[in-house]
Homo-oligomer: A and B are copies of this chain.
Amino acid sequence: MGYLRNAWYVGALSREVNEQPLGRVILDESLVFFRAADGSPVAVADRCPHRFVPLSLGKVKHGELECGYHGLRFGRDGICIANPHGNNAIPRGANLRHYPALERYGFIWIWTGDIERADESRMPVFPFLDSPDQFTAVHGYLPVAGNYQLVVDNLLDLSHVEFLHPMFSQAEGVAGHRTEFFQDGDVVVANRWKPNVPLQGLAGHMFWTSPSTRSDARSNMRWSAPGYLNFDLGATEVGATVEEGICLPNAHLVTPETEFKSHYFWSIARNRLLDDEAMSARLHDVVDRIFRTEDGPIIEAQQRSMGLTSDLMSLHPVTLDPDIPAMRARRILARRIEEEHQASGRKDLGRASAVA
C-alpha cells in the first residue's frame, strides 16, 4: 500500500542526536541525523555517493558531516562542500538527498515527501509538551519488529489493557467502562470513561495523594494520520473537573521503518511533581518496561504470525466492538495514501524530491 509521504514523521528523540551522527531507516530509506553548527537538526541520506559507506559511521565536525572512509564532507543541505584529495575539486553529483527537519516537543521530525510542500502547519499539536510551567514530560523510544499500523491498532484499542497489562487490570474487569468511538473528519476518537471506580492506572498508583480510594478515571485516545496519537489520561476526585485532577497527557508517534518494522516514540507529561527528577526517571522506566515487555513482544508475535503480509485486513480477521476505531483509522489512512498517489500521478512521490 505504500506510505503517506507528505507528512512529518518523528525520526529520533532530541537527546539521541548529539555529537555523533545517528543512522536510522525511515520509510525504507537510510537516513543520518546530525546537528548543524547552530544546533538545528539535519537529516540526509545515509550513504556516501563515493563508496556508499554509511555516513553515520563518520564524524560531525563544525556542524558538517565527514565520511569516515575517505573524508568527503557534507553540509546541512546535503551538498558536498569539501574533498580533501587531488586538486580538492568537488566532484559532480556528490550530493545527498536532504530531508526537511525540525525539532519540536523533544523529538526530531522529518518531512519525507515533496520538499516544496513541507509545511510546519501540518505538524500535530501537543500543547502539554510545550508548556513547561504546567507540565513536565519524559520521552522514550522502542523499535518494534512489526508494521506500524499494528502499533496504531494497539493504541487505538485499549480493551487490551485488561489482558496484556496485569499491572493495570481492574477488579471490575472490562465491563466497568463507558466507551465512546467517533470520527471527526479525518480524526478518530476512542474514549474510555470510568466514573467512580477504585484507584487505578498510572494516575491512581503513582500520583494520587488524597485519602479518597475512588476516582473518575479517563483514557481518551485521539488519532490522526499517519500515526499520531494524543492520549488524554487522567483521574479526578469523583465528580470534580478535569482541570482539578491529575493529568497525564501522552503523545504516541509511530513511524514506519520498513513494511515490517516500526519506530515507536512516546512522551508522557504530568501536571504533578514537575521538578521531581526521581519521579521522571521512575515514570520513564514504568512506561518503557510495559511497552518493552508487554506491547512490543505481542505486536512482534502478531507480525510473525501474519507471515509475509503486513495487511491485517487481507487475512479476514474476526472483528470485535473495540476494533472499530482502528478500522476507521486504517480506512482514512488508506484513502489519504491513495489521494496522494492520485495527486502525484506517480507511485513513489518521495523520491521525486531527491537531490538530482
A residues whose Cβ falls under 8 Å from a Cβ of B: 30, 46-47, 49-54, 57, 66-72, 83-87, 91-94, 153, 157, 159-160, 162-164, 173-175, 297-298, 301-302, 305-306, 312, 315, 317-323
- 13 A-B pairs with C-beta separation under 8 A: A30-B305, A50-B318, A50-B320, A52-B315, A52-B317, A53-B301, A53-B302, A57-B298, A68-B298, A69-B302, A70-B320, A72-B320, A84-B162
Q: Chain B residue with minimal CB distance to A301?
A: B54
- Whether A163 and B53, one on each chain, are in contact in the complex, defined by CB atoms closer than 8 angstroms, is no
Complex interface: chain B residues within 8 A of A47 (CB):
305
Cβ-closest 8 pairs across A and B: A86-B321, A71-B163, A49-B318, A94-B318, A91-B318, A52-B305, A53-B302, A50-B318
In the complex, what distance in Å separates the CA atom of A298 from the CA atom of B21? 15
A320 to B226 CA separation, bound complex (whole angstroms): 42
Question: Given the complex, which residues of B lie within 8 Å of A67, measured CB to CB?
Answer: 163
Chain B residues positioned under 8 Å from A157 (CB to CB): 70
Residue of B with least CB distance to A321: B86
Whole-angstrom distance between the alpha carbons of A162 and B72 in the complex? 12
Closest to A90 in B: B318
Tell me if A319 and B91 are in contact (CB < 8 A).
Answer: yes
Q: How far is the CA of A91 from the CA of B320 in the complex (A)?
A: 7
Contact between chains at A174 and B84 (CB < 8 Å): yes
